[in-house]
Structure 1
Amino acid sequence: MMNNLKNTIKLFVVALVYALSFTTNAQQLGNDTNYFQLSPRVGYDFPSYNNNTPEMDYKGGLDLGLSLDYYWNTFGLGFDFDYIKNQPESTFQTDNLYDVGGTQITTTNLSEDGITRIFYGIGPNAQFRSNTGRFKTEINTRFGIASIKGGRTLLENANPGNEILNFHAGYKDSGVFTFKGQVRFTYMLYNNFGINAGAYYMRHFGAKELVDPMLGVSAAYYDTVAFTGPTGEPGVVLEQGGINLREEACDCDISSVGVFAGITYKFNKKEKEEVCEVCGEDHMPRCCTICGCGVTVTARDKYTSETLPFADVVLTDLNGNIVQSGTTNSYGVVVFNDVAEADYIVKGKLYDVSLEETSIQKTEFIACKKDGNSIQKVIEYGDLNFILKGNVVECNTSEGIQGVDIKLRDKIIPGQKNTLSDNSGAFIFHLKQASTYGLNGNKDGYFSNEVEVATNDYNRNQSLFIDLEMCVNPCGQAIKLDNIIFNLDKWDILAAARPDLDYVVKLMQDNPTISVEMSSHTDSRGSNPYNQTLSQKRAESTINYLMTKGISRDRLIARGAGETELLNRCADGVTCEENEHTINRRTEFKVICPQ
């Protein structure tokens, strides 16, 4: 491997010296120095694999690449990335093939998995530029590593037994030492944009083959000899005992050459204008004493380093007078322009909690005016509580509800807070660590279930914010209870119905001002009077259950609807399937809010 590497390097050193013999003039003719260029490309790769299987060939394939180069003048340093796809090809003869017994093998099974090679490399560059600077020839050398995966190939006799004829386990190797040499010709169409084309040679040293865990070999293939078939046609026959098994993986080289074309973008340096670096006015070389400096303030959380949007920030003088104020953007940053040279205090608040303040010294303005950079400051949120960022919407919609009275109840240490949602439905609460809270929303014409938030489920060192969406239901809306089912001609409450009824109990406990109408419905089978009476008894049963849970009777209404409110076409005299009748047999509850 080392001899191959030495010979390859010698070849490119000779080419490099030959090209650099022209660069003396290039250095005088060209005036491009100290610049980056980016060159994406697409090409075609022609591989040569040295491995354990002589009955195998490899087809060319796609090469996608990217070069990033930095040139001081004629010399430079570059980085290359290549993504290459190749396809293995079994060359084992299958036409007029006979097994060791002289029986013709007429059908074979062949699978060939593609190979992916990914290369990263870095190395020196040299370039020769024409008199105009538009055309240049570049020689790039790269040393790096590659990953090589895929290439499993299996050819089998499809007759009974599935005899292996030709096999290679493929590759799964990473960190393969690789050399690449490349010649690229570039023509600049504009000052910073051009097209390129070229060729490369790449060699992977000691790419290790896989050993198949089932077969215990890296490669296997049959030897064949010439054979004349029964009708005189020439063919080949498998040699008796001629299967070759390669049990040890080969650390063999892989090489390839390729051609490519692409584009080149050159990052030209901007000419420095003779203007003031602080305020941009043309009064150089006099120092900018008439303008102020920019101050950039970033608000972030002390424990998580999260940036904090919508934080209020002020600059005050040493007497506490506000000089400038602003609100941080979505990246947690606010910029104050033209701040006069003085001593300042930087203060901030996030949702009425003060941030840890910092100061700006008058001496910091000297560096600002000299370098033209703004003064950078950070203020931190040091409160250990969480911030609950809530949003209240109408249930089953995304529409935010304004003016909902949100009640926050601490379930560990008794206490309650209230706030109103804004015009988009948003609201804020500060939550202590290691506590559990219940949230409930109230608004005329709406009711809600209690939502529980346990701050034990969150880590203050990982997140400051807890996001929550809660919903409120409009009053008077019928809500179906899916599990309240009665036996035929019965109205006793079954065990399966209790969770749904307990849900109604909890809802009424959380909303002590509401009343509930429980309505029972039947299908159309049976007489109207019978269905009316049965549904009323069932509604009364649900009411009685709620009363056993402590709900006052004057907050409950029992309504038997019978078959008067069918949800589909299944009225008297209409033939329907059982599942259609089931839709009409239901129990619903409707919340009645106080006027």
Structure 2
Amino acid sequence: MKRILLSMLFLTLSLLGWAQVKESGDLQIGGFGGASFPMGTYKSIGETKTGYFGGLFVDKYFKGNRFGLGLDARYLTHSILQDDSVFFANGFIATDYVNAPKFKHWAFTLGPSYKIHSGNFHVEAYLRGGILMQTFPQYERTLSFSDAMGGMTHIPIKRTINDATNKANAWVGLGGLRFNYSISPNLAVFLQADYMQSFGTKFGGKPSEFYIEERESAGMGAVIDEKTEIREWSQYYSDVFVQKKTPYKSLNVGAGIKYVFGKKPVKEPVYQMPIEQEVPQRKAMPKAIQIVVKDKQTGLALSGVTVSIESSVYNTKENSNAQGEITRITDAQAAVYTIVGEKNGIKTDVLTLTEADFAGNDAVIYREIFHDDPRFTLIGETVDCETNTAVSNIATVLTQTENKQNMSQTSDVEGKFIYQLDQGADYSIVANQAGRYSQTELVSTKGLDRSKTLYVTLKLGVCHLVEGGNWVLKNIHYDFDKWNIRPDAAIILDNVVSVLKQNPTLRIELSSHTDSRGNDSYNMQLSQRRAESAVEYLVKSGIDRSRLVAKGYGESRLLNNCGNGINCSEEQHQENRRTEIKVLNYK
């Protein structure tokens, strides 16, 4: 770039020198700026928006002021359309922008000019060729979803494949018209419109076009919305990437002013005393500030982090959104800014911006801060048992199995609740609200890798208590041929105790069932002992015995056809081995 600028400076000085010696055509220098409209594949593949351009030109016309030779140097930039994140039932689609989401171009061109006069008006046509120096945006769009084991799977579905520097050169052509009006013999204003396009696929052995690759949609039926639950990503996207590329193309419309040398004979210069002027110091310009919070161990955007920004000119405190962002600060004045985030009592490292950060050319100061909490995040949702829709304002209780520590939280208006889970630990969680009950759900972080997994998700079903209703107690087990209450079964029965205490008019039958294997009479006796053991546990926990009925049904109420002499799998027999609750009375 330095060589090109020096070459242009040399050519400009040569034209100026020529203008002093020759009295033939005009020498003119002008500046311009305006709007740049992307076109064709540069707009569709590059996903560019209307941008702006500005620059300088020098034209030297030959005898007769019809034909000439001109230089053009300009800067053009186009921002790209930024995709909003899409959230679905067990994940999200988000785009990570590695650098500024815009194209930046420097164009240096040389070529002929042609001019037609009519009074104070004149029209110029120009055709140029030269070099285009490009800076490309870099981004990756990723599909992230939780799998059956509670981990997160990340599948790239669209990304740029630029050179690692995100820079490339190309040959470029430029052609346009300039409509001028002279306001004095040496000064004119003008409107101009031109078209510019790069050519060729390589320059200097490197690709000169902008490349992306993306997975095509798997079909019209593969629509992802907020209710979608993805288990196999290949149902929604092709397993191969399709590569696309585009040259630069734009229509540029702007205005400017130019100075024409040699219109009047040079008069003797009037001597003036030199005036000492203070050389203005370059000041740091106002900029936008964008802060993004990420989880340090996984690199995922982190929501719900309280970010504090303090300076002598600006102070704010707000929570990061689902993309980990806080509201962008626009027109921030140069100063020292202290930035820190906090979530769950854990702070990020302090980030400091100084006035030196405002001295660069970028319009946005983009910084990331990292939150380092070694725990997993449980994101739960209370839902209606029958409709599977979210239910708000439901009290939940989380219990750490080993140390029996309890934490409670009420689901928000969207039915969401959030807990932090230690690594390598087991938990149980239940809903706790009068008139309703839930199963005791088990959650474990054992076997999960914190460097790969941040979130654990859970839907907690909440059901209405109704007379005559019944449900099977999940996760309650007995040792073989035993009826004593094991510690893991006690956790489930503790939830039954809570339901009974919150609903003092509730009277239940607690029944036990076996599979068909073994003697029928013995199975009946074993199930009765197990039901009575469970009732005794509830009585010892403070429940009046008159509200409880223990009933053993043995193998008399099988849920499938796995009766005596029928060959069934272990899973089918397990379906019949169960403990049930039936509501006898409830007001």
**TM-score (norm: length of structure 1):** 0.41
Greater C-alpha Rg: 1
